[in-house]
Each structure stands twice: as C-alpha cells, then as structure tokens.
Amino acid sequence: MGKERKTIGVLTSGGDAPGMNAAVRAVVRMGINRGFSVVGIRRGYSGLLANDMDDMDLRSVSDILQRGGTVLYSSRCPEFSEQRNIKKAVENCRKAGIDALVTIGGDGTFRGALDLCREGLPCIGLPGTIDNDISSSEYTIGFDTAVNTVVQMVDRVRDTSQSHDRCSVIEVMGRHAGHIALYAGIACGALAVLVPEIEFTIERDVVAKMVSSLRQGKQNFIVMVAEGVGHAPAIAEQIESLTGIDTNAVVLGYVQRGGSPTARELVIASQMGHHAVELIEQGIGKRVVVFRGGKVVDLDIEEALAMHKGIDMDLYRVANDISI
C-alpha cells in the first residue's frame, strides 16, 4: 500500500562547507512545496545508521541561509564501506518511511549514495566541499566562500607585509587539488601559485620571478601555496635563504571553512536543492546535480564518479602571465 505523502530524507556528509544550509533549506522548502514530507538526518551516514533523524518543516530551516557550516551536522562514517551497513541504512530509511534521499557532500558521499541506490533507495547527490575537487562539477558548494575568505585574509596580511616583511607565503587548503590556491592567487595578485597538479621548483617558479620583479621596482610579494605541495614555513625559509628577502608564512587553516556564504554560493546551492527535488518528483534517482557550462544539470552517479577534473590550465596561464 502506497503512502499518501512521499518522504525525502536529507543529509550532509564529509567536510562541512558554507552554503550547505542553503541547499538543505531549498530541499526542505521545495519538498514541502511539492507535497513531500522531509526528514533531516543528522551527522551524515552515521545518523542514518543510528536513526538520528527528525521531521523538518518550513520553520526548521528559517534563519539558516546566512550561517556557515551545516545545521544537520556532518561526519565521516568509515563503517559505510561495509555492505551490511548499507543494507542497514536502507532498512532504517524504510522504517522511517523515507522514499528518496538527498546527500550533500563530496565524491566519497556520492560513492555512499551509489551503494544505497544499488540496494534500492533512490538517491540524489549534491556537490558540497570547499575544495572544488568533485570530478563531475565545475563548481562545488562552499568554494566561492572559501576563496573570498582567503582573499580577505590576504588583504590583512598584505597590510602588515607592506609595513615590514616583503614576502608572504600563504598556505591554503587543498591536499590534492589546487583550485582554492589558483583562484585566490589570481584574486590576490600573487607572484606565484604552487599547486599539487603542476610541477614546480622554488628556484625557477618563485625566486627567479621575484628577482626579476624586484629589478622592476616591485617590493611586496604574495606566494600562494596549496597545502598539498608542502608547508608554508619551510617554503618561506627556502625563499628567504635563496633571496635574502624577509619572508613570513601564514597558514590559514580552518578559517577557510567557516563564515557566511557568498551570494553566488547561496544562489547555486538553492538552485541545486531545488533541482534535486524536481528529479525526485519525476521519480528519478541515482543522479548527482552538478554545475557544468554555467548551468545546474544532472548526471548519472556512476558516470559522474568516473569523470576526471584537473586544474584549469587556462586559469593557471592567466595567473602566470600577469604575475610579473
């Protein structure tokens, strides 16, 4: 016997990111608008296994749009790679009356969603991570805010750098992906951007450029480093010993994850949440909602996970060509 009203579950998983709340809000509001009940699951897949969930209504998502982090909390749940736990999660959803699930997170979260789909629970993944390292999407929820935060922080560093030191090495997040470093590097007018995707040497890509810029009268330098290429203090020491120029290091760390989402973030996250419910309404599952070619579209989860995204080489050329 079918229920009168179908139910959508929503969760956030993996690293939290500003804008996740806007996506949750859009799922709840659009879900209710289209006649669904919506259940919020706390702490990602851990909450699904622990039955940590509650009904959400229009008011449960009031006043969350501008808040960073995720009101549903997030977690990493290593047990989710075990098949028996996938089955348990699907069983818990059945018991809670959840007919379809929206999971907001990174590629790991999408893999979990794919496993759930294979066990018969339709899932829609939304890309949420500050690193922009989801292979299928040109843009991920959290990235724009993180880049803007880095730019604001570097502006402050630059004020003091201009008064005392002459070079600042800024370490930003990105263990395997240099998207934050590249975008923020261009936006901050960095002399050099060092990312894990592209080979470099400090001598050629930093020191030689610095010496040539010094000759042309430049006095202050920002070097933007993704954490995956090494630690800023060690790189700063190397630059100082090779050039004799006072060089400091700033490791931005977790401040990059927090803060109110930018307008761009809020708009795209809202579009993505809206799109997810439209898919569920049409009875479509096993999809991820992604940003491609400037539009919010959807792809099969497996197809999405098989994609590869490298660093934007056109943008890297821009960074290099104008930092002289």
Q: Binding residue for ligand ADP (CB under 6 A) from 87, 88, 111, 118? A: 111
Sole window of 48-56, 105-113, 140-148, 196-204 interacting with ligand ADP (rule: CB under 6 A): 105-113
Q: Please identify, among the stretches 58-66, 70-78, 154-162, 274-282, the one whose residues bind ligand ADP according to the rule CB under 6 A.
A: 70-78
Catalytic residue among 131, 133, 205, 298: 131
**Subset of 261-280 contacting ligand ADP (CB under 6 A):** none
Footprint on residues 125-144 left by ligand ADP (CB under 6 A): 129
Contact predicate 161/219, CB 8 Å: no
Q: How far is C-alpha 311 from the chain's CA centre?
A: 15
**Residue 73 contacts ligand ADP per CB under 6 A:** no
The CA distance from 242 to 109, in Å, is 44
> Quick check: 219 binds ligand ADP (CB under 6 A)?
no
Residue 55: CB minimum distance to ligand ADP, A: 24
Measured from the CB atom, the residue of 113 and 190 that comes closer to ligand ADP is 113
Cα 45 versus chain centre, distance = 18
The side-by-side arrangement of strands in the sheet containing 192-194 is 192-194, 221-226, 167-172, 247-251
Q: Within a 10 A sphere around the Cβ of 76, how many other Cβ atoms?
A: 15
Q: Which residue number has the CB closest to ligand ADP?
A: 108
Judge whether 97 and 91 are in contact, CB under 8 Å: no
Q: Is 18 in the site for ligand ADP (CB under 6 A)?
A: no
Q: Let me know if 54 is a catalytic residue.
A: no
92 binds ligand ADP per the rule CB under 6 A: no
**Shorter beta-carbon distance to ligand ADP: residue 113 or 252:** 113
CA–CA gap between residue 194 and residue 264 (Å, rounded): 26
- Asked whether the beta carbons of 9 and 102 are under 8 A apart, the reply is yes
Q: State the sign of the Cα–Cα–Cα–Cα dihedral 26, 28, 33, 35.
A: positive
Per CB under 6 A, the list member of 99, 115, 240, 265 interacting with ligand ADP is 115
- Sheet of 100-105: strand order equals 53-56, 37-41, 7-12, 100-105, 123-127, 287-292, 295-300
Q: Which is nearer to ligand ADP, 85 or 323 (CB)?
A: 85
> Which residues here bind ligand ADP, judged by CB under 6 A?
13-15, 45, 76-78, 80-81, 105-109, 111-112, 115, 129
